[in-house]
Amino acid sequence: MNEALDVAARVAARLGAIPGVVAVVLGGSRSRGEGDRDSDIDLGIFYEPERPPDLPALRALARELCASAAEGAVTPLARELLAKGAEDAVTPLGAWGPWINGGAWLEIEGHRVDWLYRDLALVRRVIEACRAGQVTCDYQPGHPHGFLNSIYLADLYDCRPLFDPGGALAPLKALVTPYPPALRRALLDRFLWEAGFAIDTAKKAAGRGDVMYVSGCLFRAAACLVQALFALNERYLSNEKGSLQRTRALPRCPEGFADRVEAALSAPGQGAVALLGSLAQLEALARETSDLRRLDEPGC
């Protein structure tokens, strides 16, 4: 683990020397202390949109770091990266969409290292919106729950700055602590409603034995309940990977929540009776989650 953090610090220092890079942070599971030896090293690269990072310099650095790593044992990923070149490995801004707006997937010193661009102007706007209770959820490959704008706040809360000579991130991190009350209400309102909606709309399809549609609704309902539970407990949720297991540590959570969700999702059933039974399990969890909110916020 310490070796990975050393790699992160050295790469961050090199990134910080590139014109246009304002700050570099360690993110993901490693920043939360939850990573293991196989976890990626996620490095957020913050920049001001009027002075974006020098793309040729980023590509030159990636080429150097990957080539240096490949001098030892060349893994399939390192071989692939070297074959296609830094021009493909390091994207221009905006290549992955408006939220995860580009970066790179690299292998450096035997570690998977992801570079993720972050537009500071957008980050500031999103913080202001979330603190006012304005929540958005957009389609994003790799995020089956959808990409919530509040993920930016979660990333800021969790991240460890590795390069930030101008102190750009400290005032932003201060804005996300404590958890904004308006964001909590908005997430609970939205996702408790949507969980119930997903379950109700699936019932007719379950009666027809439509396994694919009902399975999708079951997943969506479970994802919404996870979002609601994290908000209820004033905990940020930055990534759906491992999120169900993390509910086990939440103080306010339906009894056996994770086990019951796993049971429903791992075997939703193939016929009407089984599918309706799985929906009933999620419906009970939705009701219990709503009850927890009512206990916490009488009159809601």
What was the pLDDT predicted at 16?
A: 98
Find out whether 107 and 81 touch, Cβ atoms under 8 Å.
Answer: yes
Phi/psi at 188 (5° precision): -65, -45
> Per residue in 178-192, pLDDT tens?
999 999 999 999 999
Percent of all residues in the chain with a pLDDT value above 90, rounded to a whole number: 80
Helix (H, G, I), strand (E, B) or coil at 103: strand
pLDDT at residue 78 in the model: 54
> Mean pLDDT across the chain, nearest whole number?
92
Element (H, E) at 281: helix 272-296
Q: Which helix (H) or strand (E) holds 112?
A: strand 111-119
Torsion of CA 131, 135, 137, 142, to 10 degrees: 20
Assign a CATH topology to domain 2-175. Answer: Beta Polymerase; domain 2 (3.30.460)
DSSP 10-48: HHHHHHHTSTT--EEEEEHHHHTT---TT--EEEEEEEB
pLDDT confidence bin for 54, thresholds 50/70/90: very high
Whole-angstrom distance, CA of residue 120 vs CA of residue 109: 29
Closest of 290, 155, 275, 276 to residue 224, by C-alpha: 290
Instruction: Provide the pLDDT for residue 141.
Output: 86
pLDDT digits (tens, 9 = 90+) for 6-43: 999 999 999 999 999 999 999 988 998 887 778 899 99
Mean pLDDT over 69-95 rounds to: 65
pLDDT interval class at 239 (50, 70, 90): confident
Contact assessment for residue 27 and residue 173, using Cβ atoms and an 8 Å cutoff? no
Give me the pLDDT at residue 70, please: 52
Whether 244 has a pLDDT exceeding 90, the answer reads yes
Residue 30 neighbours by CB under 8 Å, 6+ apart: 1, 4, 5, 8, 39, 41, 42
Query: Percentage of the chain surpassing pLDDT 70?
Result: 92
The per-residue pLDDT for 87 is: 64
What is the pLDDT at residue 300?
Answer: 67
Q: What does the pLDDT read at residue 76?
A: 60
Cα 117 from Cα 277, distance rounded (Å)? 44
User: 211-220: per-residue pLDDT in tens?
Assistant: 999 999 999 9
For residue 88, what pLDDT is reported? Answer: 75
Mean pLDDT value of segment 284-289: 98
Q: Where are the domains of the chain?
A: 2-175, 181-296
pLDDT digits (tens, 9 = 90+) for 151-210: 999 999 999 999 999 999 999 999 999 999 999 999 999 999 999 999 999 999 999 999
Mean pLDDT of the region 50-54: 97
**What fold, for 181-296?**
Four Helix Bundle (Hemerythrin (Met), subunit A) (1.20.120)
